[in-house]
Structure 1
């Protein structure tokens, strides 16, 4: 890589780090930059996973207050996304690289639709509850929510693009938590997926260490900055940004 290309990768890490802790579509920025500077797609995907792991660490640290509010949910997210990401990483190494290319953009678009429509759907479901008996707050993950969280972990270990959007949808429908807490849990889920996949990739996959290091240097700063901004985002603006980022990612992949 030339000096200018290295600077581009560093900047991509910074921007992607901010996206990790806010809208959760970091690979929309970082992965295309790695491919543009000449890395093969699989090497770029592996290097991107390693380089973006520090963003999850600093972002989760930035959301440490939110993550302490519901320790049971936090523990479940860690467990499900860690286990799921191991399977996802194995699939990435064992299956042809293009297996899910045609499906992923539509999956992200569907998830964006769920994120945008979640408040209306939730209100409609509450209206069906017997009058005078408000539904109990859901602050523990049900078996269904736990299963979907695991699937998001699998996807995060395999490909990762849009996994944050998917986790926002899963937690938004499965729990009654403030969006700042959901955002923190989403950032933690991304971290768990990246850490386990990165450990596996270090030993069995080809890594461009210079690209991964440049991404890491930028992403560790961006992750913390994004967390500081993410906890202050109004819920409506947060949903709009998540949907816009997710749709942009899906359209980019389709094109």
Structure 2
């Protein structure tokens, strides 16, 4: 990797990539798959890069959660239980990351990027398949709903993954909600955003306490991500989500291959 983590070029690069990441998140999601590797390419250690990436993009998820506040007000029992599960899992995942040696985490990176890219690529088709399958099933017999206890266990596992790395986890949360019998896409997105915000929030607090976040880069990137996210409302009408998703998947595949080779 190129060692220019504190150079002016590095800061300009990070600002531009975070701006693009915020725009991509606003249109189709997946901005983190581009932002995180850029931090690595600037020479930042892998664990600090992951912590800084989480902190910088967390601001955007908070803004999205505020936008969904009306949908969240109507939720009660499931919201409380899934939130407790997510917070607990997020703390555990962040602690696991902080106690993982840099060399071990670097070795895991190709597989983590591969997992995130595959989930991002095939997550939405999976959601559509689940909806078609549920509709066909409900027309002939009672629709199957995932038991709450099993859903909480799955969410706990996803929360650990989010605290540890997190790429592509939002799609998996939506799949769990779909299996639980939720059908209103706005309510599902509200719940997914809330759970991701809570999980990443406790992970960020854990990273801050461990001094794993590089604040100059994180603040710069958070500002850029907010600008990109705000601008996405204008570009959403012009950029088809399929094009954006194809771009993110292509970049994710290229970076994954690079990590495996190097």
TM-score (norm 1): 0.78
* Counterpart-to-counterpart distance in 2, 1:30 and 1:17: 9
- Work out whether 1:97 is the aligned partner of 2:105: yes
Distance 1:244 1:49, change over 3 A: same
Q: For the structure 1 residues 73 and 87, does the alpha-carbon distance in structure 2 shift closer, same or farther, using more than 3 Å as the test?
A: same
Structure 1 moving runs of 4+ over 6 Å: none
Distance 2:195 2:132 in 1: 26
Gaps of 5+ in 2: 1-5
Is the 2:86–2:195 Cα contact (8 Å) retained in structure 1?
A: yes
Query: CA, structure 1 residues 65+199, in 2 after alignment: closer, same or farther (shift >3 Å)?
Result: same
Of the three residues 239, 252, 256, the one matched with 1:253 is 256
Deviation at 1:31, TM superposition (A): 1.2
Counting matched residue pairs gives: 246
Q: Give yes or no for contact 1:21–1:183 (8 Å, CA) kept in 2.
A: no
Structure 1: which 5+ residue stretches go unaligned?
none
Per the alignment, residue 60 of structure 2 pairs with: 55
Q: State the superposition RMSD in angstroms.
A: 3.4
Paired residue for 2:132, among 123, 135, 155?
123
- Deviation per CA, 1:131-186, whole angstroms, max 9, x where unpaired? 4x6638x6x97222222111111111001222223223322333323223322322
Distance 1:41 1:249 in 2: 19
Distance 1:24 1:66, change over 3 A: farther
- State which of 209, 213, 234 in structure 2 corresponds to 1:207: 213
CA contact (8 A) 1:25 1:165 kept: no
1:152 corresponding residue in structure 2: 158
Mapping 1:102-251, distance limit 5 Å: 102-108=110-116, 109=118, 112-129=121-138, 131=140, 135=143, 142-223=148-229, 244=246, 247-248=249-250, 250-251=252-253
Moved more, 105-114 or 23-32: 105-114
Cα 1:46–1:4 change in 2 (3 A) is: same
